[in-house]
């Protein structure tokens, strides 16, 4: 039997990630920014209606940033790829209502907190 591996193979077992190492979906708060371990980002705003983290994603060849949903790990395979590691802060309500400002806010927070710094 092979191990299921993500970015931290030493913290993952054949049963998935260690539950003590990430925040379960039931404890995630809508509209809050989280440090996440996922395929395409290190930060995301949790959206209850989709059980997903909205991230600022760039994709080759254009490298133009856009909003993208990474689903919480607890939603299951094959789309549940985001492991929330730490709750950081509440996104201001006026920013939550505007896609352009939300994308800019997430990008600003990536610079503030550092893309891949350990907490």
> What's CA 34's distance to the chain center, in Å?
6
What pLDDT score does 115 carry?
65
Res. 18 pLDDT band, cuts 50 70 90: confident
CA atoms within 13 A on the CB side of 31: 9
> Does the model's pTM come out above 0.85?
no
Q: What is the pLDDT of residues 35-82, one digit of tens each?
A: 999 888 999 999 999 999 999 998 887 789 999 999 999 999 888 999
Res. 84 pLDDT band, cuts 50 70 90: very high
> What's CA 46's distance to the chain center, in Å?
8
Answer yes or no: are the C-beta atoms of 82 and 52 closer than 8 Å: yes
């Amino acid at each position: 039997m092979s191990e299921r591996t993500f970015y931290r193979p030493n913290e993952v077992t054949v049963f998935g990630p260690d539950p003590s190492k990430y925040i379960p979906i039931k404890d995630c708060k809508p509209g809050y920014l989280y440090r996440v371990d996922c395929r395409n980002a290190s930060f995301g705003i949790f959206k209850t209606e989709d059980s997903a983290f909205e991230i600022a994603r760039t994709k080759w060849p254009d490298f133009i940033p856009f909003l993208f949903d990474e689903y919480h790990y607890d939603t299951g395979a094959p789309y549940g790829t985001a492991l929330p590691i730490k709750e950081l802060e509440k996104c201001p309500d006026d920013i939550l209502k505007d896609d352009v400002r939300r994308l800019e806010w997430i990008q600003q927070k990536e610079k503030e907190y550092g893309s891949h710094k350990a907490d």
